Chain A
Amino acid sequence: MSSESSKKRKPKVIRSDGAPAEGKRNRSDTEQEGKYYSEEAEVDLRDPGRDYELYKYTCQELQRLMAEIQDLKSRGGKDVAIEIEERRIQSCVHFMTLKKLNRLAHIRLKKGRDQTHEAKQKVDAYHLQLQNLLYEVMHLQKEITKCLEFKSKHEEIDLVSLEEFYKEAPPDISKAEVTMGDPHQQTLARLDWELEQRKRLAEKYRESLSNKEKILKEIEVKKEYLSSLQPRLNSIMQASLPVQEYLFMPFDQAHKQYETARHLPPPLYVLFVQATAYGQACAHMKSSSQPPRQDKTLSVAIEGSVDEAKALFKPPEDSQDDESDSDAEEEQTTKRRRPTLGVQLDDKRKEMLKRHPLSVMLDLKCKDDSVLHLTFYYLMNLNIMTVKAKVTTATELITPISAGDLLSPDSVLSCLFPGDHGKKTPNPANQYQFDKVGILTLRDYVLDLGHPYLWVQKLGGLHFPKEQPQHTVIADHSLSASHMETTMKLLKIRVQSRLALHKQFASLEHGIVPVTSDCQYLFPAKVVSRLVKWVMIVHEDYMELHFTKDIVEAGLAGDTNLYYMALIERGTAKLQAAVVLNPGYSSIPPIFRLCLNWKGEKTNSNDDNIRAMESEVNVCYKELCGPRPSHQLLTNQLQRLCVLLDVYLETESHDDSVEGPKEFPQEKMCLRLFRGPSRMKPFKYNHPQGFFSHR
């Protein structure tokens, strides 16, 4: 049908198209053509509803025609054909109408479509615009909230207070008249001021930084200089070693000693430090007063094994093994013999009396080059210090028999301070320790351990209370320092006086009283009485002498003293003199007791003049001291005794009843023979004139 319609349309179009060529044939056509026919426009003019009615009518007509044709065909006949023809023509018209209507419908549809599309596009555009606008609104809202939420940095800044601001800020920043009412301006101004200040501070900071930089650089330079100095100094030190040795200035050794000193136990350390300090101070004083001589009078050294000392700080079970080999052996052997109780005690005693492996050696040099070697030990478990002493002299001494104990280590330092005999432990706590292991007294161990003199404890800074046992004792520097000088002086005096005595004894034993030239003025030129014997006696013997009772009773004959017996003779007269030599000689004088055997036995109890003679040497000893430090006292006292004996014998009144000349003719010049109620003899010698008078 469509092909039919397209066929039909074609000629129509041709017709329309070819109108100009065929225009002459059909006027109406040309008129039609001239008016411009537009089906699209026609559509607008026609009512679609009527078209729909028309369509419906046409279709019904067609259906009726078809049905009539069919009827006619089915009944067949000659007239039918005309009717059919007629009818067919009618149907064709209807078809044409239908075709037209179809076209119109199409056009209408197209038009409607176009319209819808157009409208739709419009709506779409509007919609899009709306979307855009909404988005923009949202964005703006966001921006607004962001702005609202904005926090200014300045809120965190700690501004200066308002008053301060108005006081300090310059007016061109503060602008008081503007800012007073307006907090915003005010804040701004304050911020300006802050900025100003910060700028200034920053400036300052920069300056300081540059300054610091500069100083750092300087330090760097100096450091470099110093570090470059060290190797040079080292090389100088190395180079100066021979010089040091040559000049006896052992700086290096001292340094090493300080290293070792760190391992000393506290009391020994205190002693070491104080002694070194004192030694140096002495050297300084000497060098300042007499520049050329710079020999040290006091030298300090540390002896013993540092490793052992270090080992002591390890756990205790180690330290026992770290003792010397012999000790280890001993321990092994004792382990084997453990069963016996006595050995165990012995072991404990040994442990208790153990010394610290390090000891401090002090060499005290005297003027005559004799040296006192002192070795200080520290008994760790008893917390006391002991000392061993040894004296060496520049020249070999001939040891007189009577000088036996003078320089012996046991007694040379006895009673340096009154009563300090060093045979008893100064630490009251020790007695309890001793009781535990069955040591009765330290006295038995003193020879081996050294003497625990009180002054030694003081030098080590150990101070023991006299009561309150079990008191903790701490090494104290100040205690040591306060005793160092006096003790050292006393030690020196002690050694010198002992050496002087030693020398005197050597002569005394040969019956020579060695009066030195500077003491000669104390005595007349001619002394007839002679010393014939000088021997040492023991304490017990002295106590038993009949003429020494009063000395014993006066408590002047303690067992720490040394005792001697001198015999002075002139003719038939024999004068015995018992001498108590205090360890504190020569500050404490020797004490004499006399017994004269001549015409009967005369002692101080039956002869006032013997008593006077004793008093001359014992009480008036100060004039016999001679030049300081009065080491010649003993010799002078003995010589004085010889003179006194001369005077005594020569002034003895002559017994007229006895025949013959006097045994001792008077040779001394005396002003008077007797004086006073006790008929004293003129014992006082007047030096330049050479006569004797009464005291």
Chain B
Amino acid sequence: MERAVPLAVPLGQAEVFQALQRLHMTIFSQSVSPCGKFLAAGNNYGQIAIFSLSAALSSEAKEESKKPVVTFQAHDGPVYSMISTDRHLLSAGDGEVKAWLWVEVLKKGCKELWHRQPPYRTSLEVPEINALLLVPKENSLILAGGDCQLHTMDLETGTFTRALRGHTDYIHCLALRERSPEVLSGGEDGAVRLWDLRVAKEVQTIEVYKHEECSRPHNGRWIGCLATDSDWMVCGGGPALTLWHLRSSTPTTIFPMRAPQKHVTFYQDLILSAGQGRCVNQWQLSGELKAQVPGSSPGLLSLSLNQQPAAPECKVLTAAGNSCRVDVFTNLGYRAFSLSF
């Protein structure tokens, strides 16, 4: 018998282009709404999609509820980083940071609330913003990226108050020490720097690649991710994923993971990390691999833990990376489903 080929097979020009776009999509950033029910995801085409976690997690979830509620073009370039305040969604990509009202984002055709560009020195190429960090105590936002500086922006006035210089290559990631107003930054130059916001100075530098235990020259020296918890700091990238004791600046645990890690976070007494490869890795602090939960993307770039107290039913871990899908883990053991662009 003849094969039943539907007449509308996706072979038209538009369909092929769409399929290719989806195939080559990378989701760089995620952020959970302050109410905890929505998840924003930004991709390499500059689009931000808002997924409804509550709808996708509800018992009568259908295929459509795993599709974005709204998708809109936020930036011209990729959306590298996103973060949520109690009212706003801040997104950053090539050169500028934009603010969107969460309330309006859910409606179609919303416009940005404001956008700011840090004072850059070069004009040849607009440096990207790779990391955003909120400092609640002084109500400011720290932006870091291509121009090797940490820019502090006052959220009240929208002005850039200071720039912290010290990195010799672009900055990948930021982390805030909660007790004291100190910020950690890791960059392409292989160094993790500790900044004191009160004096706006670099107080400590750890050049990870110089420590033989964790150095992996064939992967490069870049620090792709870091997280901190009181005196502890975990960082990874080109060098192996390593747990550091900050006060003594010594690596305490080296996690046996070959692939470079792109995202790491503390969760209860575990460390979650993701990067090259399909899996979300769960580590004991002692360095044992507790579990490897496979996701649907060939490589992961960001993890997001929804710990908003407002929506306890939506307490999930989401992971996104080199695909158009956002994997949702309802518990840490396995992947429940994927949200898809």
Residues in A lying within 8 Å of B, measured CB to CB: 415, 418-419, 421, 423-424, 440-443, 454, 466, 550-551, 554-556, 558, 560, 582, 584, 587-589, 591, 599, 604-606, 608, 611, 614-615, 618-619, 653, 655-657, 671-672, 674-679, 693-695
Whether B128 sits at the interface, judged by CB under 8 Å, is yes
- Which of B8, B10, B11, B217 lies at the interface centre, i.e. has the most chain A CB atoms within 10 A of its CB? B11
Which residues of B are found within 8 Å of A679, using beta-carbon distances? 188, 222, 224
Q: Are B5 and A555 in contact (CB under 8 A)?
A: no
Taking a contact as CB atoms closer than 8 A, the residue among A555, A584, A653 that contacts B220 in the complex is A653
Q: Are B28 and A584 in contact (CB under 8 A)?
A: no
Smallest CB separation, B41 vs chain A (Å): 14
Q: Are B20 and A418 in contact (CB under 8 A)?
A: no
Not counting A418-B11, A591-B20, A657-B218, a sample of 7 additional A-B residue pairs whose C-beta atoms are within 8 angstroms of each other reads: A443-B2, A554-B19, A591-B16, A605-B322, A608-B299, A678-B322, A679-B222
Which residues of B are found within 8 Å of A618, using beta-carbon distances? 20, 23-24
Taking a contact as CB atoms closer than 8 A, the residue among B7, B78, B218 that contacts A676 in the complex is B78
Q: Are A554 and B130 in contact (CB under 8 A)?
A: no
Which residues of B are found within 8 Å of A556, using beta-carbon distances? 16, 19-20, 23
Whether B172 sits at the interface, judged by CB under 8 Å, is yes
Taking a contact as CB atoms closer than 8 A, the residue among A418, A424, A582, A677 that contacts B224 in the complex is A677
Give residues 75-118 of B contacting A (CB, 8 Å): 77-78, 80
Q: What is the size category of the interface that chain B forms with chain A? A: 35 or more
CA separation between A611 and B297, bound complex, in Å? Answer: 13
Whether B295 sits at the interface, judged by CB under 8 Å, is no
With contact pairs A440-B1, A618-B24, A674-B170 given, residues A419 and B11 touching in the complex (Cβ less than 8 Å): yes
Which residues of A are found within 8 Å of B161, using beta-carbon distances? none
Q: Are A466 and B7 in contact (CB under 8 A)?
A: yes
Which residues of B are found within 8 Å of A550, using beta-carbon distances? 23
CA separation between A554 and B324, bound complex, in Å? Answer: 12
CA separation between A693 and B125, bound complex, in Å? Answer: 8
Smallest CB separation, B24 vs chain A (Å): 4
Whether B178 sits at the interface, judged by CB under 8 Å, is no
5 nearest interchain CB pairs?
A605-B298, A615-B24, A418-B11, A418-B12, A419-B9
CA separation between A169 and B172, bound complex, in Å? Answer: 114
Which residues of B are found within 8 Å of A443, using beta-carbon distances? 2
With contact pairs A554-B23, A605-B299, A677-B301 given, residues A423 and B7 touching in the complex (Cβ less than 8 Å): no
Nearest CB in chain B to that of A421: its residue: B5
Which residues of A are found within 8 Å of B277, using beta-carbon distances? 606
Taking a contact as CB atoms closer than 8 A, the residue among A421, A604, A619 that contacts B298 in the complex is A604
A-B contact pairs, 26 of them (CB 8 A): A418-B11, A419-B5, A419-B7, A419-B8, A441-B2, A442-B2, A554-B23, A555-B9, A556-B23, A588-B12, A591-B20, A599-B218, A606-B259, A606-B276, A606-B299, A608-B26, A618-B23, A618-B24, A619-B21, A655-B217, A655-B218, A671-B125, A676-B78, A677-B262, A679-B224, A694-B125
CA separation between A241 and B218, bound complex, in Å? Answer: 82
Q: Are A418 and B222 in contact (CB under 8 A)?
A: no
Taking a contact as CB atoms closer than 8 A, the residue among B16, B19, B146, B222 that contacts A672 in the complex is B146
Taking a contact as CB atoms closer than 8 A, the residue among B2, B20, B259 that contacts A424 in the complex is B2
CA separation between A656 and B238, bound complex, in Å? Answer: 13
Which residues of B are found within 8 Å of A671, using beta-carbon distances? 124-125
Which residues of A are found within 8 Å of B26, using beta-carbon distances? 608, 611, 678
CA separation between A658 and B128, bound complex, in Å? Answer: 32
Which residues of B are found within 8 Å of A676, using beta-carbon distances? 28, 78, 80, 128, 130
Smallest CB separation, A465 vs chain B (Å): 12
CA separation between A611 and B26, bound complex, in Å? Answer: 10
CA separation between A453 and B256, bound complex, in Å? Answer: 59
Taking a contact as CB atoms closer than 8 A, the residue among A588, A589, A599, A694 that contacts B11 in the complex is A588
Whether B138 sits at the interface, judged by CB under 8 Å, is no
Which residues of B are found within 8 Å of A657, using beta-carbon distances? 217-218
CA separation between A100 and B78, bound complex, in Å? Answer: 190
Which residues of B are found within 8 Å of A615, using beta-carbon distances? 24
Which residues of B are found within 8 Å of A582, using beta-carbon distances? 11, 16
With contact pairs A440-B1, A555-B10 given, residues A418 and B172 touching in the complex (Cβ less than 8 Å): no
CA separation between A421 and B2, bound complex, in Å? Answer: 12
- Which of A421, A560, A582, A605 lies at the interface centre, i.e. has the most chain B CB atoms within 10 A of its CB? A605
Nearest CB in chain A to that of B169: its residue: A674
CA separation between A556 and B17, bound complex, in Å? Answer: 10
Smallest CB separation, A593 vs chain B (Å): 10
Q: Are B11 and A551 in contact (CB under 8 A)?
A: no
Which residues of B are found within 8 Å of A695, using beta-carbon distances? 77
Which residues of B are found within 8 Å of A421, using beta-carbon distances? 5
Taking a contact as CB atoms closer than 8 A, the residue among A418, A441, A677 that contacts B28 in the complex is A677
CA separation between A556 and B20, bound complex, in Å? Answer: 9
With contact pairs A419-B7, A550-B23, A554-B22 given, residues A674 and B13 touching in the complex (Cβ less than 8 Å): no
